[in-house]
Structure formats: C-alpha cells, structure tokens
Chains A and B, each alone.
Chain A
C-alpha cells in the first residue's frame, strides 16, 4: 500500500480474509463429504458465494457479482435440478458414498496439496506488497470486452449457444427406446386390466 492505512483497518482486512477463507474451506469440505446430495449442493452453493466474498476483498467487484449470478444463481440450481431428476430412489444415506479405494484418492490429493503448497510457501518470488488499490470499473471491463477481447466474447456466445442446444438434445427424452423401457413394467398390469374389463 502506498498510503499508510490505520492499523485497525489492516487488522479488519486480515480478520475478514481468514473468516471468508474458513467459510470457503468449510463449505467445500462439507460439499465433498456429506452423504445427502442436496446438502452437498447447498454447501457447494455456499462455497461459491463465499468465494465471491473473497473476490470482493480482492477488489474484483464485477467478477464477484458474475460469480454470484452464474455459480450460485445458475449452476447450483442446475445441480439441484439434476439431483431432483435422478436421485429420488438413491437418496438414502445407506448407499456407499465413496469408492472402495478412497484412501488412495485422498493420499493423491494430499500429495498434490504438498506439491502445490510447499513451493508457494517457500518461494521468495511472492514476497511483494500489493500495489495500490486499483478498481476495475465496469466501464473499463466493458470497453476491453468490446475492443481487445471482442473475438473471445463472440466465441463464448457461440459456445454458450451450442452448449445450450447440446444440453437440451442430450437430456431430451429419446422417444422409441425410452417408451419401451418406461411402459414395459406397466404393461402386464394394463393387459390384466384389459382382460378383466370385458368379463
């Protein structure tokens, strides 16, 4: 910081960082370990929302609100809908929720954490103070999007359109196959009824 700030504000910044970081990690661990799927989805939404708080602390307001809109508003809701559409009968917590070799997975994750964390902590390259707070005004972001980044923006539009169409096509009911599968269990009962009704 170029201008000296009061000690209380610096301390509040630190407290806010540790609070939001703890929130992110607690929500993330809960989302990965809880047995009920709906709880997982809600905790994931909590983790996304607390990450938006961290973006706010990093002076990236536009990204924070985009995160809230897209992740909490759209992706979490999509996940909840997918849970509702698929897991009505598998929702009981008796179903084994981790794979048999989960110890290996957790060990690999711990090795990964060590491999990422040790260099981050020990390197001297990162010991630098933050530059003075530079806001990223929405006006600048909009100008960049319309000038420098206009080609990626258009491609994102194409990608989102095709992904939307693709998701609809994939999730759409395939009439002939599904009809046989869905109606097969009910046909004996129907036939029996048809047999019964004339008599």
Chain B
C-alpha cells in the first residue's frame, strides 16, 4: 500500500513538476529521488520567477536557531495555469513543505507538496 502511495505521489509529482526537469535542467543532478524530507517553517522570501519558483523558508532547528531552506518548484507559467500564483504563498506564512532532498546535504528541497496554515494543500495534493 505504501509503495502504491509512493508511486501515486511520484506520478502526481511528475505531472505537476516534471517541467522543472524537462523545462530547464535535470532534476537528477541536484536532487535525490530516494530521499524526501518534510520541513515546517515561515516563508522568508518568495521568488516567483523563471526559471524556477523558489520559496526561502526559515526553519527553527533543535538548538532554537533558524536554518534557511531553499525550496524549488516549477516555472511560474506552468503553475499559474493551475491557479497557483505569486499571491498563493506570502512572506510570513507558515508552511509545511514536503520535497526531494538536495544532494550534498544542502538545505535544498524540490517541492512535492505544500500545506498552508488554512488547510490548503498544494502540489502533490493539488
């Protein structure tokens, strides 16, 4: 069941985000397909521009310090077709982001899905 869910999530991810691989450069170079992570934090910066949408997220670590994560989505022109606009996520919003981890232990995520504080689910759930 878990593997079916994983396959389904992967399929949806590809439908929504494959352009980040096909449109610009290879997902495989920077991200791992096997390793995913979930982070919860506050949006510090919104970059809603090509070649990739980015949300910079401040995550409080175990020591109480803030780590900044670079999370990446698709290109704006592909997202806005699905109603995901620059205004969908704003600086100061609390978000939970699931994504594929960047290689080399970077604080880097390729977004699979985002849960907003009001319960809205974007990405894999979108």
The answer to whether A and B belong to the same complex is no
Residues of B at the A interface (CB closer than 8 Å) are: none
Residues of A at the B interface (CB closer than 8 Å) are: none
